[in-house]
Structure 1
Amino acid sequence: MAKSPRKKITADERKDWRNLPLEHWNTLSVQTMVADLNREHYGVEKYVPNRGYGYEQGVIKRVLNEYGAEAVRETIERSFAEYRPSADYPQLTAGFLLTYMLPRIMPRVLAEMETAKRRQAAESEAPSISELVDWL
């Protein structure tokens, strides 16, 4: 039986970052997430990227390739939880948070992800209750 061709993901689907599986995230997903969170957290209707869209897309692509979408998403969420807008900086741009906040937040995110992965591996290798009962 022949495999069916994989469905191409549209730009609109990539913008639906809340429902898009992380393995399909790209720069558009991240920029849309940041713009949406600015609107939700700070009431910023018009997202203005740091140093232009090209610069921001380059930064996003680099960190997605280096750390993966799950770690980048968590870093963005934590950045919005910490950031306090001011009159001079009323929004949090992807370029700023991935350039200046990521070095402080990402190590904690990666450490927590590694701990969770180790815990899950240990739990899956642990004997089941019935195996323990049989052993005793």
Structure 2
Amino acid sequence: MPTTDKPVSKWNTRDFQAYLKAEHERLYGIPYVPMRGWKAEAGMLGSWVGTKQKPGEYGPEVTKRFIDLCFAEYRPTAEWPGVNFGWMKTYMGTKIQRVAAEIRDEEAAQQRREQQAEIGDDFY
């Protein structure tokens, strides 16, 4: 997978498309087909992840976790054997709230641990 050579925080739309394609084929065993084509999907991803010219609404880490959650919760059917980012955004988009809350809570817990480490155990 071409995205493993750099951290998620540095991923661009092309990295996300490669990840979506690879994960989709790994999980469902069928080719990945973007909604309305690769260029349209790149635009959707760019609005979430960000581009060189404009920051995204959520950033790469939140977007990747959202995609992973959608893949984990989607159950293929005979009529809909796979998904794509456009479908995830349209029909599973509310899950972004859950992802954002999880990340917020993780960051708060990390901040508390760092503060505790600065203070030290002998303070209490």
TM-score by length of 2: 0.84
1:91 maps to which residue?
Answer: 82
Q: Give, in whole Å, the separation in 2 of the partners of 1:28 and 1:98.
A: 17
Q: CA RMSD in A?
A: 1.6
1:108 maps to which residue?
Answer: 98
Q: Is the 8 A contact 1:63 1:98 kept in 2?
A: no
Query: Percent of counterpart pairs with the same letter?
Result: 31
Q: Give, in whole Å, the separation in 2 of the partners of 1:20 and 1:81.
A: 23
Corresponding letter in the other structure for 1:24: K
Q: Give, in whole Å, the separation in 2 of the partners of 1:81 and 1:23.
A: 21
1:100 Cα deviation after fit: 2.3
Larger radius of gyration: 1
Secondary structure of 2:35's aligned partner: coil
Q: What stretches of structure 1 of length at least 5 have no aligned partner? A: 1-14
Aligned residues: 116
Which runs of 4 or more aligned residues in structure 1 lie more than 4 Å from their structure 2 counterparts after TM superposition? none
Q: What stretches of structure 2 of length at least 5 have no aligned partner? A: 50-55
TM-score by length of 1: 0.77
Corresponding letter in the other structure for 1:59: M
